[in-house]
Chains A and B, each alone.
Chain A
Amino acid sequence: MNKVVEDANEAIRGITDNMTIMFGGFGLCGIPENCIKALAATNIRGLTCISNNAGVDDFGLGVLLAKHQMKKMMASYVGENKEFERQLLSGELEVELIPQGTLAERIRAGGAGIPAFYVPAGYGTEVQGDKEVREFSGKMHLMEMGITADFAIVKAKYGDTRGNLIYNKTANNFNQAMASAGRITIAEVEELVPYGTLDPNQIHTPGIYVQRIFQGTNYEKRIEFRMTRS
């Protein structure tokens, strides 16, 4: 078994037009920077991107947006991106806004083989649409579906050569669930170590979920709002 690839360019081999890709991250925290950059350097277009947010105008998924590589975005919040609003209003970009918890659970369920489940979020709002509605214990719920992707691209702090991953603090966010929901999961990590190095008790994503892993480089780790006490 050899899951290790050289770099992002090798990792994204096989991604083609019109595929559905999941990207880990919350805001700019925990995003797979190397793979996003590598994708932006290709001519791949028509992508359906699933991610909690859309990056900022010149970093993160905003870069794919600016190069018109996205056909559809599934996200819970796209606020920090002006190009996003422009493409949305012009009709260039299809957007599905999904409550964050529902999005996280749809992804988790997709990876866990659960085709549908009921949650209360969105009942009575435009999110309800024509979804199936059912009452449980006097409370109304919407039926939501599990989702999977052609590729899931995640970012971790530590990974081993068998694909076991450990995330750092709030840089975990959507990465853990997404790792389970890609037909092919690519992991870029800050520190790639030989298998046997990581403590099995500390693993967030067991290697079974990961098909390709590489040592990432030059992480910018941009901060959106740098707040300090002083």
Chain B
Amino acid sequence: MALDKHGIAKRIAKELKDGFYVNLGIGIPTLVANYIPEDMEVTLQSENGLLGIGPFPEPDEVDPDLINAGKQTITAMPGAAFFDSSASFAMIRGGHIDLTVLGAFEVSEKGDIASWKIPGKLVKGMGGAMDLVAAAKNIIVATTHADKDGKSKLLKQCTLPLTGVNCVKRIITDLAVVDVTEEGFRLMERAPGVGIEEIRAATEGTLIVEGEIPEMDI
């Protein structure tokens, strides 16, 4: 059965390592914070100038000077650090973030990503997404495999305006874990109960399926 957004977040959390500094984009990626293993120390970076994002505040803790990149009120963990925007993106661009997780409208088999603009419908701006994908050493896209009309989001070539080129390494969807390789998309894992044919049908780009494809362990 296809995973729900929490299932996708749970599988992404398996990519975390102790001591990682991580940037989570808005949408499904933020849910990954709920599945960080108890015994693992992971520090979340907020592009607007915070290392050490904490949980949402209690009502009497709400502070208008303390928000995340999605402009939601948050808290800061013990051991957190505040800094300005130029320092925040210096941290990102300088390759210091261990893992970046973000959503997408489309990903191509060459690792291009389109996530910020739908011409005529959504032209709000790219925010920090282009900086994140251009600089990150480890990018995971969290997305449904197809859109709500059943159209594949894993394409030969993106049709929408690009956020970055040649930058996505791994895509974790409601159906599968897919890596981007020289030869195209490579199927690495299936969601529990999901068959190869269902994944093939939902993948418009080149999909390499070699050997036994294990189920996700979540």
Q: Which B residues are in CB contact (< 8 Å) with A225?
A: 67, 70-73
B181 contacts chain A at the CB level, 8 A cutoff: no
Contact between B130 and A121 (Cβ–Cβ < 8 Å)? yes
Contact between B71 and A75 (Cβ–Cβ < 8 Å)? no
The smallest beta-carbon distance between A152 and chain B, in angstroms, is 14
The smallest beta-carbon distance between B217 and chain A, in angstroms, is 30
A62 contacts chain B at the CB level, 8 A cutoff: no
Contact between A78 and B125 (Cβ–Cβ < 8 Å)? yes
Contact between A169 and B163 (Cβ–Cβ < 8 Å)? no
B34 contacts chain A at the CB level, 8 A cutoff: no
Main secondary structure of the interface of A (DSSP, over half): loop
Main secondary structure of the interface of B (DSSP, over half): loop
Contact between A170 and B65 (Cβ–Cβ < 8 Å)? yes
Looking at A75, A173, A204, A224, the one whose CB has the most chain B CB atoms below 10 A away is: A173
In the assembly, what is the distance between CA of A124 and CA of B166, in Å?
Answer: 9
In the assembly, what is the distance between CA of A226 and CA of B56, in Å?
Answer: 9
Q: Specify the chain B residue showing the minimal Cβ separation from A225.
A: B72
Q: A27-B71, A124-B165 are in contact. Are A101 and B125 (CB under 8 A)?
A: no
The smallest beta-carbon distance between B214 and chain A, in angstroms, is 34
Contact between B58 and A230 (Cβ–Cβ < 8 Å)? yes
Q: Which of B49, B63, B124, B131 contacts A101 (CB 8 A)?
A: B131
Q: Which A residues are in CB contact (< 8 Å) with B159?
A: none
Q: Specify the chain A residue showing the minimal Cβ separation from B59.
A: A228
- Chain B: residues with Cβ within 8 Å of the partner, total of 50
B206 contacts chain A at the CB level, 8 A cutoff: no
The smallest beta-carbon distance between B56 and chain A, in angstroms, is 4
Q: Which A residues are in CB contact (< 8 Å) with B48?
A: 26, 29, 170, 173
Q: A101-B128, A105-B89, A177-B85 are in contact. Are A120 and B134 (CB under 8 A)?
A: yes
Within 8 A of A (CB), among B84-117: 84-86, 88-90, 92-93, 112
Within 8 A of B (CB), among A106-163: 107-108, 119-127, 157
A1 contacts chain B at the CB level, 8 A cutoff: no
Contact between A79 and B125 (Cβ–Cβ < 8 Å)? yes
A101-B128, A122-B134, A221-B65 given; 17 more Cβ-contact pairs under 8 Å? A77-B124, A78-B125, A97-B126, A99-B127, A101-B47, A102-B130, A105-B90, A120-B134, A123-B164, A124-B162, A126-B161, A170-B66, A172-B84, A173-B48, A174-B85, A228-B58, A229-B55
Interface positions of A (Cβ within 8 A of B): 26-30, 52, 75-80, 85, 88, 97, 99-102, 104-105, 107-108, 119-127, 157, 167-177, 204, 221-230
Task: List 12 A-B pairs, Cβ < 8 Å.
Answer: A29-B64, A79-B125, A99-B129, A100-B128, A125-B164, A126-B162, A169-B82, A173-B85, A223-B62, A223-B67, A224-B72, A227-B72
